[in-house]
Amino acid sequence: MMKRCKECSSEMVISREAYRYNESGLPNVVLKDVEIRRCPNCGTQEVPLPRVAELHRAIAVVLVHKAARFLGAEVRYLRKYMGWSGVDFASHMGVNPETVSRWENDKEVISSQSDRLLRLIVVRGWPVEDYSVDDLTKIDDRKDPPPVEVELRVRDRRWQSAA
């Protein structure tokens, strides 16, 4: 199906490629085999991601299974996933909004207890199958955890791990 550029009406060139999903706010989310449309005339690029709500849920599921403490960008992602402002999030977590801001900007490391509470809030908010509270005992609380790595692709019409 031919697509025309919204800017200059040239015919878009369509390819399927791995796409680093920087719009998620997370550094290491790679989506495999997604459609990318580029205008050969003006350089406009479109990435029409399918099933975005499900994609965001799939990323949240990877995050709550992460075996290391959350980084600021991951806290921010999960707060937005829950649909909360900083103030809403602070009241659910029982902290000051300034604390949320410090977590999200990596000025303060999220406490082990807050990290675990956030996982349970996310899991409770939109239930994740196969999430055992025993997973909370496996979290590595070291101070400088690596960011989560996410690779997803659409398979059988669902976003699934590409690993």
Residues in touch with Zn ion (CB under 5 A): 5, 7-8, 10, 39, 41-42, 44
Residue number with CB closer to Zn ion (41 or 112): 41
- Closest CB 14 distance from Zn ion, rounded Å: 14
- Closest CB 43 distance from Zn ion, rounded Å: 7
Residue number with CB closer to Zn ion (28 or 44): 44
- Closest CB 35 distance from Zn ion, rounded Å: 17
Residue number with CB closer to Zn ion (7 or 98): 7
Spatial separation of the C-alpha atoms in residues 157 and 24, rounded to whole Å: 21
Residue number with CB closer to Zn ion (10 or 96): 10
**Distances from the Cα of 137 to the Cα of 74, 116, 127, 133, 149, angstroms:** 19, 9, 19, 8, 21
How many residues in total does the chain contain? 163
Angle at alpha carbon of residue 70, lines to 102 and 115, rounded to 5°: 85
- Closest CB 38 distance from Zn ion, rounded Å: 9
Residue 94 φ/ψ region, left for φ over 0, alpha for ψ in the -120 to 50 degree band, beta for the rest: left
- Closest CB 15 distance from Zn ion, rounded Å: 16
Residue number with CB closer to Zn ion (41 or 105): 41
Kindly tell me the burial class for residue 67, based on how many C-beta atoms sit within 10 Å of its own C-beta (0-12, 13-18, 19 or more). exposed
